[in-house]
Amino acid sequence: MNLTLKVWRQKNTNTEGNFENYDVQGISEDMSFLEMFDVLNERLINDGKEPIAFDHDCREGICGMCSMYINGSPHGPNRGVTTCQLHMRSFKSGDTITVEPWRAAAFPVIKDLTVNRSSFDRIISAGGFVSVNTGNAQDANALPIAKEKADEAFAAAACIGCGACVAACKNASAMLFTSAKISQLALLPQGQAEREMRAEKMVAQMDIEGFGACTNTGACEAECPKGISLENIARMNREYFGAVLSSKEHE
C-alpha cells in the first residue's frame, strides 16, 4: 500500500503546530496503524529528520495510551478498537490519512501527537479509590455480590482512560470517563464507604481541570473503544445529587 499521511507536528505546548505531509510506500495491509508509524519514523531517522512523537505502550488495546485522531474520528474509522488495534486493511492504497492529537484544553499537546492526560489521574486521585485495611486477603465469597451488579461494575471498569470520549465530544467533556470510574465502585459493596465523597470530589475535580459539560450528544459512547454506556453518566448524576443533598443535610 502507498499512502499519504497528513500529520500534526508541534514542537511543544507553547509553540504553534502545523500539518506536514509524508508519503509512505510498501505498507502491508496486515500492519497495525502504529506499526505503519514505526516504519515512517525509521525512515525519518535514517534521513536525519525528527521522528513523530506519539503515545503507545501495550499495543494490545488494554493500556489506553494510544491516542490518535484519524480522519476525524478518535482511534480511526472502526468501532470498538483502539489505534493500536486498527489495521491498515481498513484503508485503501492511495488514501490520504489525516492524523491529529486529541483536541481538548484539558489535554495540552506535549509534542506532535502526544498529549498530557494527567488531568484524568487527578480526577482518579480525588476519589476513585476504596479504603481497605491491610492484612490477609478475605475469602472469595466473603462479600456476596449479585451477578447483575457485578456485570454492570465490570462493564464500567472496562474503561481504559484513553480519552477518546473527550476527543469525540464537541464540549470536550470527561463525563463518560468520570462516570465509569464512579460507577464501577458505586455498584460494589467495597465502594460504599467513600460513596458520597467520591462523586462530589471527582465531579469537582473534573470541573477544575477544565473539561466541558455534557449535552447528551452521545458521541462519547459511539467512539469509546470499550463501549462504555451513557447509563454511567445517568448513574453519576444520581450519585452526585445524592451526595450534595446529603452533605447539605449534615451542615
- Tell me the per-residue pLDDT of 149-182, one tens digit each, with 9 for 90 and over: 999 999 999 999 999 999 999 999 999 999 999 9
Residue 141's pLDDT is: 79
pLDDT band at 249; cut points 50, 70, 90: low
- Tell me the per-residue pLDDT of 55-84, one tens digit each, with 9 for 90 and over: 999 999 999 999 999 999 999 999 999 999
Q: Which domains does the chain have, with CATH numbers?
A: 3-111 (3.10.20.30), 118-250 (1.10.1060.10)
Residue 250's pLDDT is: 56
| Model confidence at 108: pLDDT above 90 | yes
Query: Whose CA is closest to 51, among 20, 82, 16?
Result: 20
Query: Whose CA is closest to 68, among 90, 95, 97?
Result: 97
The predicted model gives 122-139 an average pLDDT of 86
Percentage of the chain modeled with pLDDT above 90: 87
Q: Reduce the DSSP state of residue 45 to 3 states and report it.
A: helix
- Tell me the per-residue pLDDT of 208-245, one tens digit each, with 9 for 90 and over: 999 999 999 999 999 999 999 999 999 999 999 998 88
For residue 211, give the C-alpha cell: 473539561
Residue 142's pLDDT is: 82
Q: What is the mean pLDDT of the chain?
A: 94
| Model confidence at 134: pLDDT above 90 | no
Give the range among 12-16, 21-25, 129-133, 155-159 with minimum mean pLDDT: 129-133
3-state helix/strand/coil string of 51-103:
CCCCCCCCCCCCCCCCCCEECCEECCCCCCCCHHHCEHHHCCCCCEEEEECCC
Give 99's strand partners: 7, 70
| Model confidence at 103: pLDDT above 80 | yes
Does the reported pTM lie above 0.85? yes
Q: Reduce the DSSP state of residue 16 to 3 states and report it.
A: coil
